[in-house]
Structures are given as structure tokens and as C-alpha cells.
Amino acid sequence: MNIVITGASGGIGARTAERFLALGHDVFGIDLAPASVSHPRYRHFTADIRDPASLPEIPDVAVLFNNAGAQNSADDIGNNLTGTVNVTEKYIENAPSLRSVLFNASASAVSGQEFPLYAAAKAGVVGYMKNVAIRLAPRGVTCNALSLGGVLTPLNDPVVRDPASWEKIMSVTPMKKWMTADEVADWVLFLTLENRSMSGQNLLIDNGEHDLNATFVWPSYFSSEKPYFSEEK
Ligand SMILES: NC(=O)c1ccc[n+]([C@@H]2O[C@H](COP(=O)([O-])OP(=O)(O)OC[C@H]3O[C@@H](n4cnc5c(N)ncnc54)[C@H](O)[C@@H]3O)[C@@H](O)[C@H]2O)c1
């Protein structure tokens, strides 16, 4: 199958490309940066997704992974939202083999945290994903979004490699870890190749950061006495 991945030179994009290649697929990577993947079935296009004219012609697209993005850049709306719309509108038309579209949004689309225009753009990606899902449903094509919390990629080195920042992050991360790019690739492969019936969904995968920071206060709740399980009537 022909797989298109934007942001294919970055941490998540490159690892995902390698995983599709290992399964025998042909991968077409698009990125502002030169290729970081090298494989006989990998073709790289240096392009800016904000400029529709720079996007290459790619035949018979089966899977589109909209992954390119930038945080706190000079143009967060363009790099994360407008560019993603450009790519999607180009590759979902005249694509009879299309089976799935997946967007890499962000936990900030759900929580509103992080940089203002990044959060706005990623929330826009989720809204746009639903619009695309509605349009593609009659063709039997699934369309979903990942909203990831922290991922261990070079993008995050400033906080991952700074012990004080990392300690603060772990104090608000109930599962006490971040995910790897390989684990993200597991989700991407399942959602684009296996899933046939879930569409229009935004999956928040964040080690419990948004939903599991318990705020319930009750004197005996965390004691071993557990009076709320008492068998006395
Ligand atoms: N790493 C995380 O913790 C995390 C968390 C949530 C969401 N995300 C999202 O996952 C995606 C990939 O993140 P990553 O950690 O691999 O980052 P990364 O910076 O390693 O990779 C992003 C890639 O996108 C490319 N890109 C940016 N703007 C572009 C443009 N206009 N045209 C073409 N290419 C462009 C960059 O050159 C880069 O190679 C991003 O959309 C990011 O917002 C990442």
C-alpha cells in the first residue's frame, strides 16, 4: 500500500515510516527537512505543507498520516492546521484505494494547555478531522485523531533532559512515564491498517495526565480501614 506521512523526518514520523516499511508498504515522506529515513521503498519530498503548490503528486494513496507539526514556531496555525488541511484536501481526492486518514493532534487540543496558537491549531485539527470523517464515511474510509501527551522525542529534550523539569512533569503524570515514538507507531498502525469501524474519534493518550489526577478529598479514602466497603448495615 502507498502510505503518505507528513513530518516524516521528525521523531514520530520517522519511526512510524520505518514501521510501515518493515511491513512491506511503500512510504512517501513529506517534510521541510531532508530525509532521516533510508530504505529502498521510502521516497522523500522536501516540501512545506503550508504551500499547496509544493506538495508532490502521489499515486493511489491508501493511508494518510497527517503528522507534521511545530510547537511555538513563527507560524503555529500554518504549520499545524492550514498545512494539514492543504495536505488532506490534496490526497483524499482521486484516491480510490484510500482506507484511512489519521491526524496527529495533541493533548493540548483537549486541555487547552501549552502555547496559545499551538493549542488553537491542534483543537482546529480535531474539528477538521470530524469534518473529513463525515465526508469520507460513505467511501468506507476511517478518519481519526491521536491527541498525545508527552512523547520521548528530540522535540522534548529541553524538558526531558532537565532533571528539575522532568521531576515536575512526573509529579502531574499519574502513570509516571511518557510514551515512546515506537508506542505511538503501534497506535498509528492499528488505527490506519486494522481499524475498519471507528471513525470521527479523537483518542487522548496521555498516561492519565488529563483525567487521572485525583482531586477527591475524604478523610478516610486513602486509609487502610476502607469504611466505604464496610459490610455493616
Ligand atoms: N513529541 C510530543 O510530545 C508530541 C505530543 C503531542 C503531539 N505531538 C505532535 O506529533 C507530531 C510529531 O511530533 P514530533 O515529536 O515527531 O516532532 P518533530 O519536531 O520531531 O517532527 C515534526 C516534523 O514536522 C516537520 N514540519 C513542521 N512544519 C512543517 C511544514 N510546514 N511542512 C513540512 N514539514 C513540517 C518538521 O520539519 C519535523 O521534521 C507533531 O504534529 C506534534 O505536534 C508531539
pLDDT tens for each residue of 95-110:
999 999 999 999 999 9
- pLDDT(223) > 70: no
Report how far ligand 1's centroid is from the alpha carbon of 59 (Å). 24
CA 98 – CA 109 distance, rounded (Å)? 26
Give me the residue label for grid cell 478516610: 220
- What the block records as the C-alpha cell of 112 is 487547552
In a domain, 17, yes or no: yes
CATH code, 21: 3.40.50.720
In a domain, 221, yes or no: no
Q: Which residue lies with its CA nearest to atom 21 of ligand 1?
A: 10
Report how far ligand 1's centroid is from the alpha carbon of 24 (Å). 24
In a domain, 65, yes or no: yes
Q: Which residue lies with its CA nearest to atom 25 of ligand 1?
A: 7
Report how far ligand 1's centroid is from the alpha carbon of 36 (Å). 14
Report how far ligand 1's centroid is from the alpha carbon of 224 (Å). 46
In a domain, 219, yes or no: no
- pLDDT(185) > 90: yes
The whole domain housing 62 covers 2-153+178-206
Residues 6+ apart with CB under 8 A from 17: 3, 5, 8, 27, 29, 37, 42
In a domain, 62, yes or no: yes
> What rounded mean pLDDT belongs to the chain?
95
Tell me which DSSP letter residue 193 carries.
Answer: I
In a domain, 213, yes or no: no
* Ligand 1-lining residues (CB < 6 angstroms): 7, 9-13, 31-33, 48-50, 67-71, 79, 83, 104, 106, 148, 150-151, 153-156
CB-based contact 32:10 (threshold 8 Å):
no
Number of structural domains the chain divides into: 1
In a domain, 115, yes or no: yes
pLDDT in tens, 100-141: 999 999 999 999 999 999 999 999 999 999 999 999 999 999
In a domain, 216, yes or no: no
